[in-house]
């Protein structure tokens, strides 16, 4: 039975908005507004949503790269919230991150070899020869040649840099990796290469991923469970097959129908949502989706919908909707 690797409980990240003469705090941007979910060992959770929904903030808050303002994160049952600097550093070995922008995520003035080896150096793992050997082994895993080590990041293409980033994340043998839009900035033909690397890591090494993306098709390809975010809240959460086969939240419906499908015969009844994604600085009252929701009722404006389980105990299908 897969045990729980990561538990997120009512996680909140509010950013204060300062203004006025003395930079007083005027209001808060609720980037992450009470999110809870569980990630089991060996499984991948896909987090999908559009810009401003808070998915990137959530990914970083889970690793405490951004300090949450409320809630709890538990790794292997142990809370990481109150940990001291050193204890947290030790925990960092278990959880790593790969980024969207292959150009900004590697230091331009450091050799690739140094970048990949750095985690080992910082945590003082092994001797120098052992570290070197490990780095070379990592290159194999991601499909890059040894010559890569003595070059600079700008000499490589986006897909190759992304692989370098993955190698760096793997250096400490984490059990859990947050992947923040890792393929969004890549060309289609390169996307599939990098996705295959990730799939390989899932299968062969049993690494759990928190895979963040705005692309539902990519998410379906890599995830076991999927969470849909809107304005800082998790509006739907289910196993991949349940979500795609039987979406319950109106936003999920709209999102799925909005994706342009590369298939000419696909006749979608496209649900075009009115308006734009509202800014997280001024979230609507009640259910955050109500101004754009084609099925909004009067209570949607006033009451934040509670989380209901439309599935079973073992296979939950959580939805936040009044319907």
Partner 1 sequence: MSSGETQALLSVRNLTVEFTTRYGPVRAVDGISFDVNPNETVGIVGESGCGKTVTGLSLLGLVPSPPGRIVAGEILLQGRDLVSLPEDEMQALRGQEISMIFQEPMTALNPVLTVGSQMVDVLRRHKKLTRRQARASAIEMLAKVGIPAPAKRIDEYPHEMSGGMRQRVMIAMALSCGPKLLIADEPTTALDVTTQAQVLEQIVELQDEFHMAVILVTHDLGVVAETCQRAIVMYCGEIIETAGIESLFDSPRHPYTRGLLDSIPRLREEKRDELPVIPGMVPDLLHLPPGCRFADRCEHATDTCREQRPALKTSQQSAASVACFHPLD
Partner 2 sequence: MSAALSDHRESIWGKAFYKFRHDRMGMLGLAVVLLYFIAALGVWLGVWGTGWADVDGPKWAPMSGEYWFGTNIIGEDIFQRSIYSTKTAFEIGLVVAVLSTILGALLGALAGFFSGRWIDAIVLWLMGVLDSIPFYLFVAAVAFALQGNPWAMHVAMVSTFWTTTGRLVRGEVIKLRNFEFVEAARAIGVPQFTIVFRHIIPNTFHILLVQATIVFVAAIKSEVILSFLGLGVQDGVSWGLMISESTLEVLAGFFNNFIAASALLFVLVMAFNMFSDSLQDALDPKKVAAS
For partner 1, the binding residues (CB under 8 A) are: 50-51, 157, 159, 187-193, 195-196, 199, 214-218, 220-222, 240-241, 244, 254-266, 270, 272-273, 276-277, 279
Q: Which of 42, 59, 46, 36 is nearest to 3 (CA)?
A: 42
Q: Is 186 near partner 2 (CB under 8 A)? A: no
**What is the rounded CA–CA span in Å between residue 122 and residue 59?**
23
Question: 3-class SS at 84?
Answer: coil
Smaller CB distance to partner 2: residue 172 or 273?
172
Give the start-end residues of each E strand in the chain: 4-19, 24-40, 44-48, 70-75, 78-79, 95-98, 176-180, 208-213, 225-230, 233-239, 308-309, 318-319
From candidates 54, 71, 119, 286, binder to partner 2 by CB under 8 A: 119
**H-run or E-run covering 317:** none
- The entry of partner 1, partner 2, none that residue 122 binds, CB within 5 to 8 Å by partner kind: partner 2
Q: How far is the CB of 85 from partner 2 (least distance, A)?
A: 9
Cβ atoms of residues 237 and 317 within 8 Å: yes
The answer to whether residue 292 forms part of the interface with partner 2 (CB under 8 A) is no
Decide if residue 243 touches partner 2 (CB under 8 A). no
Cα torsion through 88, 89, 95, 97, rounded to 10: 120
User: What is the rounded distance in angstroms from the CA atom of residue 249 to the CA atom of residue 227?
Assistant: 11
- 60 near partner 2 (CB under 8 A): yes
CB of 263 or CB of 313, closer to partner 1 = 263
Number of residues lying near partner 2 (CB under 8 A): 43
Rule CB under 8 A: is residue 103 a binding residue for partner 2? Answer: yes
Pick between residue 58 and residue 218 the one whose CB is nearest to partner 1.
218
**Smallest separation, CB 76 to partner 1 (Å):** 25
Which strand (E) or helix (H) includes residue 145? none
Task: Kindly state the helix (H) or strand (E) to which residue 251 belongs, with its residue range.
Answer: helix 250-258
Identify residues 145-184 at the interface with partner 2 (CB under 8 A). Answer: 145, 147-148, 151-152, 154-157, 159-160, 163, 165, 168, 171-172
State which residue, 133 or 217, has the beta carbon closest to partner 1. 217
165: closest CA among 215, 156, 288?
156
Contacting positions for partner 2 (CB under 8 A): 60, 63, 65, 89, 92-93, 96-97, 99, 101, 103-110, 118-119, 122-123, 143-145, 147-148, 151-152, 154-157, 159-160, 163, 165, 168, 171-172, 193, 196-197
């Amino acid at each position: 039975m897969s045990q729980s690797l990561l538990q997120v409980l009512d996680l909140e990240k509010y950013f204060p908005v300062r203004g006025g003469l003395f930079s007083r705090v005027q209001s808060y941007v609720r980037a992450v507004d009470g999110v809870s979910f569980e990630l089991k060992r060996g499984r991948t959770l896909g987090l999908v949503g559009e810009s401003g929904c808070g998915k990137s903030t959530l990914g970083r808050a889970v690793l405490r790269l951004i300090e949450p303002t409320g809630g709890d994160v538990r790794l292997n049952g142990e809370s990481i919230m109150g940990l001291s600097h050193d204890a947290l550093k030790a925990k960092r070995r278990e959880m790593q991150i790969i980024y969207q922008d292959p150009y900004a995520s590697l230091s331009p003035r450091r050799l690739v070899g140094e970048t990949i080896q750095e985690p080992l150096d910082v945590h003082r793992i092994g001797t120098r020869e052992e570290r070197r050997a490990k780095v070379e082994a990592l290159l194999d895993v991601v499909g890059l040649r040894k010559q890569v080590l003595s070059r600079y990041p700008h000499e490589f293409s986006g897909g190759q840099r992304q692989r370098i980033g993955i190698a760096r994340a793997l250096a400490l043998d984490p059990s859990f990796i947050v992947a923040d839009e890792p393929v969004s900035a890549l060309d289609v033909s390169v996307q599939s290469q990098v996705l295959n690397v990730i799939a390989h890591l899932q299968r062969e090494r049993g690494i759990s991923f928190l895979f963040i993306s705005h692309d539902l098709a990519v998410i379906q390809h890599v995830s076991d469970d999927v969470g849909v975010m809107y304005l800082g809240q998790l509006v739907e959460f289910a196993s991949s097959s349940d979500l795609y086969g039987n979406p319950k939240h109106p936003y999920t419906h709209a999102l799925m129908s909005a994706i342009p499908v590369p298939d000419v015969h696909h006749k979608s009844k496209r649900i075009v949502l009115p308006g734009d994604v509202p800014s997280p600085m001024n979230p609507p009252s009640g259910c955050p989706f109500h101004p754009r929701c084609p099925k909004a009722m009067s209570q949607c404006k006033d009451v934040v919908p509670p989380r209901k389980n439309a599935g079973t105990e073992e296979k939950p299908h959580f939805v936040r909707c009044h319907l």
